[in-house]
Amino acid sequence: MDKALYQRGYFVSASGCGYSEKRLDDSAGDCYFYVHPRGFQLYCHLNVSLNTQVKKDLYAKLLSFEPAYFDRSNTGDILARFGGDVDLAINGVTDMLKSSLVRTFSVIGLSLTLLSISWKLATVALLVLSTIFIPLAFARKYLKKVSETTLQNMSLLSSHYTEALQGNRVIAVFHLFNAKLAAFEESIKGLRHIALRLATVQGAITPIMHSISGLGISLVLWFGTGLLQSGEMTAGGFASFITSLVLLYTPIKSLGNMSTQLQLSYLGLLRVYELMDRVPTLQFPTEGATLHAIETGITLQNVSFQYREDLPMVLNHIDLLIPTGKTIALVGSSGSGKTTLAHLLLRLYDVVEGEIRFDAHPIQTLTKESLASLSCAVFQDNFMFVGSIRENILLANPKATETELWQAIDAAYLRDFVNSLPQGLETPVGERGVLLSGGQKQRIAIARAFLKNTPLVVLDEATSALDNQSEAVVQQAIDSLMQNRTVVVIAHRLSTVMNADMIVVMAHGQIVEQGTHAQLLADGGAYANLYNAQFKEPLPIAMPSPTAFKAELLAP
């Protein structure tokens, strides 16, 4: 072997491969084989490339999941499964592949060497060696159970970190430091308990492995002594046999430690496959109907919906016509189904019963691209992505020109605010838009909607969380956005929807009234009750006269 190449340190041994500074005389009985530098680079490239590709595929899968999946899932569990499980699975698989190849060739080569020296001694040694797998088989089920619990607890830890990041203001305001720390410590204790159980299993397996190895070597020495005395074996051959046997047992004895890591990697791989094999419940046709405009309107016929089979219906037999170019207002108490109905129009969920049609086309027949080009929404709490104001507005139409961008900014009454910033449109919004006020985020969301320029706009409580001054500005932007579009607006404040073409009153998942503001007031039904509750004059407060107040003050 070239000494210069040896000193470069690319080696495969019975216990692994990697960069090594060991000299030949420092190998401590381990069996080393030289590997060309390109071979080691190929292994590293395979590990990194596989990890990167799987993470890319999983992220694409995550983006394809329907909102219902996130409704049922824990954020920490999602982060653990889409991040930690991949590293655990891929690194474990590639490491096991590397180690297995090395150990396989080592075991085959050394076994052949033993057989060539003495087939009788080799038979004894290999029979004893095969018993090493018996304790591993017994420990396998236990290791699987403990490994599953380990991954679950790691997901729980991720949830604690996520809550600390996203709920830091609530934690500070309500002084939840001690409570959250105590909950985290409880999770850590659970993980520590599991780690101790794993260490106990490993601690039990390792001495068993060494005992079996020692027994094998003892039997070989005893049986080999007889062969030496009978002259069937020379002293040199016997010494070579013992040396090869020790080298053979060295990688086998490490199987106890490998089994735990292999089990964790296997479970991580299963969890990755589970995610990759999951089929989203919300499916869009690849060659469905393509609409560029809504000609007549949107029809809801006998629509019912529930979020889960074990939960009650949120909507019950809804029939509604939304004519093109009209503004339809949905009003009613909290929990009446207004937001759910809006989500169905955007096809964030599918109806359980009934049908929604855009013109004559069922919504399930529209391609994802077609439906996205027809509708957009401004929510009560609009999500801002990390980046600048410009980047957040251009999400609606990345190909928009600078003129189109500023037209949307003007329509959303954002120009004065943008011009007041030192960095203008390049001003960072912070994570989830924490550097912006509620009204500023709403107007950025409205600018997005202007830039997307869709025929259908859904406005879900877009001003309910704003103060009066901010609401006035945002309402101007909304009024501008509503022109010449089909609009579905949800509002608790009836003052914002009085001029709607039709007001739909909902209660307990059903439509109880619909008509114009004047018609519904005249009917004196549910809408009139809502109106009177919001706009009735306050009762006069009886104030004592100055004389009576003075007499009461001077009374003994």
Dump pLDDT digits (tens) for 197-251: 766 766 666 677 777 777 777 887 888 787 777 777 888 887 888 887 777 777 6
Checking if the pLDDT of 184 tops 70, the result is yes
Q: Give phi and psi for 457, each to the nearest 5.
A: -125, 130
Class of domain 299-535: alpha beta
The 3-state DSSP composition of the chain as helix, strand, coil percent (nearest 5) reads 60, 15, 25
Q: Is the pLDDT of residue 437 over 70?
A: yes
Q: What is the pLDDT of residue 157?
A: 73
* Other beta carbons less than 10 A from residue 462's beta carbon: 28
Judging by DSSP bridges, how do beta strands 327-332 and 375-378 pair with one another?
Answer: unpaired
Q: What is the pLDDT of residues 486-536, one digit of tens each?
A: 999 998 888 788 888 999 999 999 999 999 999 999 988 899 988 888 876
Dist. CA 96–CA 102, nearest whole Å: 10
Other CB atoms within 10 A of residue 543 CB: 8
**List of residues 6+ apart from 378 with CB closer than 8 A:** 442, 445, 446, 448, 449, 457, 458, 459, 460, 462, 478, 481
On the question of pLDDT at 10 being above 50, the answer is no
pLDDT at 321: 94
Confidence of residue 443 (pLDDT cuts 50, 70, 90): confident
User: Burial code of 135-149, b = ≥16 C-beta within 10 A, e = fewer?
Assistant: bbeebeeebeebbbb
The residue among 320, 245, 239, 269 whose CA lies nearest residue 96 is 269
pLDDT digits (tens, 9 = 90+) for 40-66: 444 555 556 667 777 788 888 888 888
pLDDT at 151: 67
Q: How confident is the model at residue 68 (pLDDT cuts 50, 70, 90)?
A: confident
Q: Where along the chain do its domains lie?
A: 3-28+37-277, 299-535
Cβ burial of 468 (10 Å; 0-12, 13-18, 19+) is: exposed
The CATH number of the domain covering residues in 3-28+37-277? 1.20.1560.10
Given this model, what pLDDT does residue 515 score?
92
For residues 375-385, average pLDDT: 85
Q: Please report, rounded to a whole number, the percentage of residues in the chain having pLDDT higher than 90.
A: 17
CA distance linking residue 270 with residue 118, whole number of Å: 44
Residue 265 has pLDDT above 70, yes or no: yes
Q: What is the pLDDT of residue 21?
A: 37
The neighbouring-strand residues paired with 503 are: 329, 515
Q: How many residues does the chain have?
A: 556
Q: What is the DSSP string of 414-435?
A: -HHHHHTSTTGGG-B--GGGTT
Instruction: Render pLDDT for 455-476 as a digit per residue (tens, 0 to 9).
Output: 999 988 877 656 677 777 777 8
Q: Which residue has the tokens 């103060």?
A: 467
Treating both helix axes as pointing N-terminal to C-terminal, what angle do 133-166 and 255-277 enclose, rounded to 10 degrees?
A: 50
Model confidence, pTM = 0.69
